[in-house]
Structure formats: structure tokens, C-alpha cells
Amino acid sequence: MARGGQRSYGNAGRTAYSGGTRGGQDRAAFVSSVLKPLVLSGGLKHGTASNGMISGATASSGIVSNVAGLTVNSAARTYAFDGTAAAGTTANGLVETLAGATGSPRPTPVTVAA
């Protein structure tokens, strides 16, 4: 037996288990993110095209739109709206997803004004 009751399998006294890492990676890498509501830089209005930025997104997450005429560039955190969506609120208008994050996938309501 190696020091501390751990078995040694050769390799210059290295032990088979190291409590400080998980799979050879730092434990800090496994701390989960918490997704927050997304925010569009401008309001959406039926019949009016617009574009802008999406803020509030977590690094490395993906964003998709469930609003007709609202196109999202997830990597650039931008959107383009062609004005075709009917006025109203879509409860899951934008959905942010990040593997391992608390609350993922997270929907954000999107309102299109009349």
C-alpha cells in the first residue's frame, strides 16, 4: 500500500486516485452557470423591421428564437426581425441552452408590439 492507504500501481509511486481533480480537470471547471433572462437591445413592432444585440447571455451558450420573423445569430449575440410576427407575447420567444447550467434550457418571453 502507498501512503495514506491508497494503492500504488507502479509508475514511480503515483496513486490510482487523486482527490483534487475529476478526470484530470480542475474542479472549478465543473461549477455550473446560472442562466439569466435575455434582453433585446430594441423593441419589436409588428410591420417594422429591426435588428440589434442580445444581452444577458452566458458565454458558450446557444440561443434560438421561437418568434416568427425573428432570426438569431447565437454566436454573435445579434438578432434581425422582419416585422411579420403578430402582436403579442411569446412565452418562450428566446431560449438559451448551455449544457450543465442551472435552469437550462431557459426561456425568455418576447413581446411584439402592435
Over the stretch 24-52, which tens digit does the pLDDT of each residue have? 444 444 456 899 999 999 999 999 999 99
Q: Does 19 share its domain with 36?
A: no
The range of the structural domain enclosing residue 47 comes to 32-113
Number of domains in the chain: 2
Same domain? For 92 and 65 the reply is: yes
Supply the pTM of this predicted model.
0.72
Rg for the chain (alpha carbons), in Å?
Answer: 23
Closest-CA residue to 17 (of 8, 26, 30, 27): 8
The answer to whether residues 57 and 25 belong to one domain is no
Partner residues linked to 46 by β-bridges? none
- Band of pLDDT at residue 79, cut at 50, 70 and 90: very high
In the numeric block, which cell numbers belong to residue 26? 480542475
pLDDT tens digits along 91-109:
999 999 999 999 999 999 9
* 49 plus 27 within the same structural domain: no
Residues 37 and 52 in one domain: yes
